[in-house]
Structure 1
Amino acid sequence: MGLARLAALHGVATSYAPSPDVTVQVPDDTVVAVLAALGVDASTPEAVTDALTRAEATAAERLLPPTVVLWSAPEEERPGIPAALTALPPGTTLQVEPEDGGTPPLAEPATDPAAVVAGAPLGVHRLTARAPDGRTATVTLVVAPHQVPQPPPRTHGFLVQLYSLLSERSWGMGDLGDLAELAAWSGRHLGAGFVQINPLHAAVPGDPTDPSPYRPSSRRFPDPVHLRIEAVPEYAYVRGADREQLDALGEKADALRASVLGEDALIDRDAVWALKLPALEILAAVPLGPGRAAEYADFLAAQGQALEDHATWYALAEAHGPRWHEWPAGLRDPRSPETARARRDLSGRVGFHRRLAWLTDQQLAAASGAAREAGMAVGIVHDLAVGVHPGGADAWAQQDAFAAGMSVGAPPDAFNALGQDWGLPPWRPDVLAASGYAPYRGLLQGLLRNAGALRIDHVMGLFRLWWVPQGEQPTQGTYVRYDAEAMLAVLALEAHRAGAPVVGEDLGTVEPGVREALERRGVLGTSVLWFERDWEGPGQPPLPPETWREDCVATATTHDLPSTAARLTGEHVELRHRLGLLTRPLDQEQAEDRAEVGEWLTYLERLGLLPGGPGDEEEEIRAVYRFLLHTPARMVGVWLPDAVGDRRPQNLPGTWDQYPNWRLPVADATGRPMTLEELAASPRLHRLMDVLRP
């Protein structure tokens, strides 16, 4: 009983419900390990008693939680007063200091919470409370808009993994120049309102580098592997031997691109970086003009210590390898004297990595600008991965914010009886709250700098995450709860400042109340055609289009699912059979798949969306997207490979080296890779996009 009470005080679950009629008890050893990662000793009954006594005493003594949220209200309503303020002892005085710290308090001290917070502008402020008994507390006050910005009533756009989109100018993988071209072309000629891409987060260097964009070194800064070399302004001023070397690298890049576009070829991120790194070193040696130098200085000032840490980690990784846990002891601490000396000794490389972050930021801004100039209503939709690599730059620079010895994953469910371990260290909710969510705010600010909108992978993680103790199976994990109100408030504030809508990936198991909370704050969900069924109806038929939710991105598939062509033809079942991933006989899986696809095609025909009936694959794909247009969804996403009949998934969950995850260029129905230029001229693509034109 004491352990359960202690766990509850720290947001650690001692049981969970994988389905409404099933409750699973979490092993005590798991609860003890998770509490230890939160700095709470529960290793013995005596330790539990001591920790519980301290926690309850702290809670009783505390005037306010570390972070208080005040939601603004629509014009016709008054903002509600946070419960934490109404629960203060009578006579407690309150005062709010603005976030910039450069002006006097927003109002005189007062005992009426409504009067104190009434004039507080949107932002992150300091709130001081002084009780009559002498207790004081200074905490963070987040004043947030009641909703994130909203997209237009209806818009459509492409969903694409940027690395898979090669043009005749990119160096072996899709780059930010290709992104700008895709946005400009699709916005101007196809009426597209957005392009949603995979995370562009900085990767952990390796041999080979993990190609997954969802296990990055840093979510705060983008990866310079996406740079278009020729678009760096200093490229024009390279002369002499450096120009000869740069031209030679360009010729090698041409050969690499040609090989990737050949039969059965794969994107090789490390080969791309092996060419871009020396090219960027040449460009970084070109002196900046006065205007460029001023821009760079402004960028450095704006990014501050976060960029300094990021660049230092990459310089140290070059010298000592990418696993910082194995570095010399002093270098494992970003604030140690040894790290300060190393930063000075490696100042040239630290400066180089700072420069790369700036150049990448500039090209991201250019892509965003191209989308706006093309008339896109939303623009580039950037993606936020759920976590970072434990050995990467963020985990090194923000060690106190991450739970040591823990990994994020998912509990067992109907699709995966063993659960999942994603190998990503979770943020500590207590440290986030105590810091006023500073790491989270900085992350969002960095991502939203050049975003038309933001997609959040596994958005349920704003509410709770499944923590797995190191060395244990995912089945031995438990949920740890976050302050969802504060997480949503910070998100709403930063999205408001950037003018960016937010899309949450809310597929899979979602606890009750989460979708409702997200909808209340204006966060769009994600609806995939094959999963939208009347789960309560007899036979669980397809959900009629008019009953779909409005506040969502509606799509036929995602990067983790079969393409629509593969789904319609059953090729995704055959692929899983070849890789030994099926849990039932092939004929049984195929029969079930054919029945499901047949049901959908019959339904599409009945709705008049497939007038010629089944049998024409291309027309069936168009019928799927016609169906999506019949839903009230705010945004309709076209998986770009669907437009040319690509059969291959970009990622096949459950595989590692059995399948080339995250390394496939976009290809046509025969598997032949296609360049961006070929895509733009594809009659098949244009026939599909004609369906979506107003």
Structure 2
Amino acid sequence: MTSTPVPAPATESPTPALRELADALGVATEFWDFTGHHRVVSAPTIRAVLGALGVVAGTEDEVRLALVDVELAPWRSVLPPSVVVRAGREHDLRVHLPDGAAVSVHVALEDGGRWELTQRDDWVEPREVDGVRTGRATFVLPADLPEGWHEIVAEVAGAGVSRAPLAVTPDRLPGPAVATGRGWGVMAQLYSVRSQRSWGVGDLADLAELTSCFGDLGADFLLINPLHAAEPSGPMTPSPYLPVTRRFVNPLYIRPEEVPEAAYLTGPQRALVQWAAEEVRPANRTNAPIDRDASWSTKREALEVVHAAGRTRSRQRSLERFRAEEGQGLEDFALWSALHERYAGRQWPAELSDIASPFVARARRELAERIDFHVWLQWVADEQLARAQRVAKESGMGLGVMHDLAVGVHPGGADSWTMRDAFAQGIGVGAPPDMYNQQGQNWSQPPWRPDALARTAYAPLREMLRTVLRHAGAVRVDHILGLFRLWWIPDGMGAEDGTYVRYDHEAMVGVLVLEAARAGAAVIGEDLGTVEPWVRDYLADRGVLGTSVLWFEKDAHGHPLEPDDYRRLVLATVDTHDLPPVAGYLAEEHVDLRERLGLLSEPVEAVRAEAGTERRRTIARLRQHGLVGTDPTEREVVEALHAYVVRTPAVLVGVSLTDAVGERRAQNQPGTDTEYPNWKLPLADGAEEVVLIEDLPDSPRLLSLVATVRGALGEDDRLA
């Protein structure tokens, strides 16, 4: 790398004082770009990012005043806003109080117990803070504090009682709960996998059938796309990675007939539900792009009929318990959904921008019935998710359902509205320029504010994880580097003009592993791309698995990485949802598609030559390991690639369902929106004939691939 700093694409460089302020608040003032050059972040970018953090830094005087505030901030509070520590280790707790005042500190445990803390002899010179001579006392959080969410209580003589949330997190998550120490599973886009009884889109009843099918075949998990909620009215965003909330579920995935009350409908009511299903069921057998809006429109009509029919007393009590447990977060999400319906396709009135306003309170009263409906939808979805996980475990899966957690949310969605103070305003998250996107990327997703997370004891992260993990054996965290740092792009600037903002990764990962441990779930972090080695080591030390994709794992000469050189603590796969399945990749359909859509930044001949070299090197490596002969068929290469991945030490191996049925098309083409039917393609074989769930147990191609994987793992390849 060159050590000569290169200014970022704006003109004004930051002053030393502005650099110091930014560094103190976790805002990067420099970074190394993908070409190996050292970049200096522009002053306008730094000021805009600091402004989004609530810090005024327009002039040097404002910068100096902000530096004083940052320095004094810990001294102005008796306790930190929240504390996250690891179990099994001692930690210091700094308490600030009027100089000379007596203080006692204890931990109120979540089980009702009490743990007195001892003070450490660690004298610090008192200082003047806002006219008060203030001292600092250090107490010891002992290593044997139990894991969980507790509360620190400080009683200061003459100054009252202060409290702060305390999270004691596992030092390390245990390994995935698979019988042999290594496990395998299937990866599927749930919306694309339909049965004869689906409503045009794969749903939670289909999820249960899939887990039963693959559990019987020996799989330990089924990884599915994020099920996060989308818009409840108007065009539904197809991408599961751009939801309106990451905490709640898209009711599109509900199977209306599976709601218990549907069995007790009157004849006319039942006919309404049946007629709605008949409108969209013919789509199950077509290869046309999935029409979420048509499916949801008919499902919503049917679900409204079921909801209006009422419930028994015991069922109503169950709904009320669910509502109480989910609390204000569910109420606010249901309110947002009702408002979205009311103003479908129209701009909301300005007075509704603040959820705490009296105008919103009035709307909450006016929309009470629709709020009840949207709360009920979440309860129904939760019950059907619970059944899918129960079926998965009963079928023999070690983990069961593996959910996927998107990296962010829609800027106009429910989370952005209901938790406005938790998000940085005027900022989009993205990525700096790289070899594939030389202008950088702006995903238009608002980032969480690190200070707001600490102030709320990481409540947005904690509550989201609890909901996602409630009926799961594992979770895949998309772009897990977002728990360490994110690329912030101020509105009005190009993606290349952003900068990194650091998060308290010790706290963020700590909360993640604590909630996963309480749910008994494994965690897989998507850590693809350029990642600092210490980050992967840190995650591995915390028991968080990484991700390895065969096509991306290369040695220094560009050849496929040898199996023994893979990391052990990973989920290893051949491909991802952003690439064509193996059959399409081998046929260079990813090159054809990008050429057709005008996405290539190099001449197509060069790109095709590179793809051909990659294919030849890959098949040569397979031949070197005795996995293929001199002229292998497409199917033989698909199976050999999976056998190759199984030869790695990876503790988990994933098999894409599209590979198992011979599909050739990618579910998503990065860099496109409407130019390609992203996230809309139904599961089909190589001839683009639709494959239904009922077809899977007898699919020769699927059974052969499963036998290959199980045989390579040393399992009994006799299929149930």
TM-score in terms of structure 1 length: 0.93
Displacement of 1:139 in angstroms is 2.8
The aligned counterpart of 1:692 is 709
Q: Residue 619 in 1 paired to residue 636 in 2? A: yes
What stretches of structure 2 of length at least 5 have no aligned partner?
Answer: 1-15, 122-137, 716-720
- The structure 2 residue matched to 1:197, chosen from 216, 224, 246, is 224
Q: Is the 8 A contact 1:110 1:116 kept in 2?
A: no
The code of the aligned residue for 1:96 comes to: H
The aligned counterpart of 1:289 is 312
Q: Residue 213 in 1 paired to residue 240 in 2? A: yes
Displacement of 1:516 in angstroms is 1.0
The aligned counterpart of 2:575 is 557
- The structure 2 residue matched to 1:120, chosen from 145, 158, 165, is 145
Q: Is the 8 A contact 1:95 1:105 kept in 2?
A: no
CA distance in structure 2 between the partners assigned to 1:291 and 1:61 by the alignment = 51
Q: Is the 8 A contact 2:90 2:141 kept in 1?
A: no
The aligned counterpart of 2:478 is 457
Q: Is the 8 A contact 1:94 1:127 kept in 2?
A: no
The aligned counterpart of 2:91 is 82
Displacement of 1:681 in angstroms is 1.9
CA distance in structure 2 between the partners assigned to 1:4 and 1:401 by the alignment = 25
The aligned counterpart of 1:244 is 271
Describe how 1:239-638 pairs up with structure 2 within 5 A. 239-258=266-285, 261-262=286-287, 265-321=288-344, 326-535=347-556, 539-610=557-628, 612-638=629-655
The aligned counterpart of 2:213 is 185
CA distance in structure 1 between the partners assigned to 2:101 and 2:395 by the alignment = 57
CA distance in structure 1 between the partners assigned to 2:580 and 2:100 by the alignment = 60
Q: Is the 8 A contact 2:93 2:139 kept in 1?
A: no
Displacement of 1:286 in angstroms is 1.6
Q: Is the 8 A contact 1:199 1:384 kept in 2?
A: yes
- The structure 2 residue matched to 1:96, chosen from 92, 106, 109, is 106
Q: Is the 8 A contact 2:578 2:669 kept in 1?
A: yes
Displacement of 1:126 in angstroms is 2.0
CA distance in structure 1 between the partners assigned to 2:282 and 2:602 by the alignment = 44
Q: Is the 8 A contact 1:149 1:500 kept in 2?
A: no
SS class of match (2:116): coil
Displacement of 1:106 in angstroms is 2.6
CA distance in structure 1 between the partners assigned to 2:435 and 2:407 by the alignment = 22
Displacement of 1:534 in angstroms is 1.8
SS class of match (2:506): helix
Q: Is the 8 A contact 1:406 1:469 kept in 2?
A: yes
- The structure 2 residue matched to 1:39, chosen from 54, 63, 80, is 54
Q: Residue 641 in 1 paired to residue 662 in 2? A: no
SS class of match (1:465): strand
CA distance in structure 2 between the partners assigned to 1:57 and 1:87 by the alignment = 11
Measured on the aligned residues, the alpha-carbon RMSD in Å equals 2.3
SS class of match (2:142): helix
Q: Deviations over 1:308-336 (max 9, x none)?
A: 0011111111112367xx42233222222
Q: Residue 230 in 1 paired to residue 251 in 2? A: no
Displacement of 1:283 in angstroms is 0.5
CA distance in structure 1 between the partners assigned to 2:43 and 2:153 by the alignment = 39
Displacement of 1:562 in angstroms is 2.0
- The structure 2 residue matched to 1:17, chosen from 32, 39, 48, is 32
Displacement of 1:115 in angstroms is 6.2
User: Which stretch shows the higher mean deviation, 47-56 or 153-162?
Assistant: 47-56
CA distance in structure 2 between the partners assigned to 1:162 and 1:94 by the alignment = 54
CA distance in structure 2 between the partners assigned to 1:322 and 1:107 by the alignment = 57
The aligned counterpart of 1:76 is none
The 3 A distance-change label for structure 1 pair 466 and 557 is same
Q: Deviations over 1:472-508 (max 9, x none)?
A: 1110111111000000111111001000000000011
The code of the aligned residue for 2:167 comes to: V
Q: Residue 7 in 1 paired to residue 22 in 2? A: yes
Q: Deviations over 1:24-59 (max 9, x none)?
A: 111111111111110000112222122122222324
The aligned counterpart of 1:75 is none
User: Which stretch shows the higher mean deviation, 348-357 or 199-208?
Assistant: 199-208
SS class of match (1:534): coil
The code of the aligned residue for 2:553 comes to: E
SS class of match (2:524): strand
SS class of match (2:248): strand
The code of the aligned residue for 2:569 comes to: D
The code of the aligned residue for 2:621 comes to: Y
Displacement of 1:416 in angstroms is 1.1
CA distance in structure 1 between the partners assigned to 2:109 and 2:437 by the alignment = 46
CA distance in structure 2 between the partners assigned to 1:573 and 1:20 by the alignment = 24
Q: Is the 8 A contact 1:601 1:614 kept in 2?
A: no
Q: Deviations over 1:96-145 (max 9, x none)?
A: 33354x83633366558786534532112222457899898643321011
The 3 A distance-change label for structure 1 pair 690 and 83 is same
The aligned counterpart of 1:105 is 114
What stretches of structure 1 of length at least 5 have no aligned partner?
Answer: 73-78
SS class of match (2:89): coil
Determine what percentage of the aligned residue pairs are the same residue: 47
Q: Residue 140 in 1 paired to residue 165 in 2? A: yes
SS class of match (1:200): coil
Displacement of 1:229 in angstroms is 1.3
User: Which stretch shows the higher mean deviation, 88-97 or 666-675?
Assistant: 88-97
CA distance in structure 1 between the partners assigned to 2:27 and 2:117 by the alignment = 39
The code of the aligned residue for 1:276 comes to: K
The aligned counterpart of 2:3 is none
SS class of match (1:221): coil
SS class of match (1:533): coil
TM-score in terms of structure 2 length: 0.90
SS class of match (1:293): helix
The aligned counterpart of 2:12 is none
CA distance in structure 2 between the partners assigned to 1:248 and 1:473 by the alignment = 50
Q: Is the 8 A contact 1:68 1:82 kept in 2?
A: no
Q: Is the 8 A contact 1:127 1:141 kept in 2?
A: yes
Displacement of 1:531 in angstroms is 1.1
Displacement of 1:408 in angstroms is 0.7
CA distance in structure 2 between the partners assigned to 1:405 and 1:211 by the alignment = 25
CA distance in structure 2 between the partners assigned to 1:244 and 1:136 by the alignment = 62
Q: Is the 8 A contact 2:90 2:143 kept in 1?
A: no
CA distance in structure 1 between the partners assigned to 2:344 and 2:419 by the alignment = 19
Q: Is the 8 A contact 2:428 2:442 kept in 1?
A: yes
Q: Is the 8 A contact 1:463 1:482 kept in 2?
A: yes
CA distance in structure 2 between the partners assigned to 1:366 and 1:302 by the alignment = 19
Displacement of 1:61 in angstroms is 5.2
CA distance in structure 1 between the partners assigned to 2:34 and 2:80 by the alignment = 33
- The structure 2 residue matched to 1:53, chosen from 39, 51, 68, is 68
Displacement of 1:634 in angstroms is 0.8
The aligned counterpart of 2:9 is none
The code of the aligned residue for 1:11 comes to: G
Displacement of 1:238 in angstroms is 1.2
Displacement of 1:210 in angstroms is 1.2
CA distance in structure 1 between the partners assigned to 2:157 and 2:31 by the alignment = 42
Q: How many residues align?
A: 676
SS class of match (1:219): coil
CA distance in structure 1 between the partners assigned to 2:232 and 2:482 by the alignment = 27
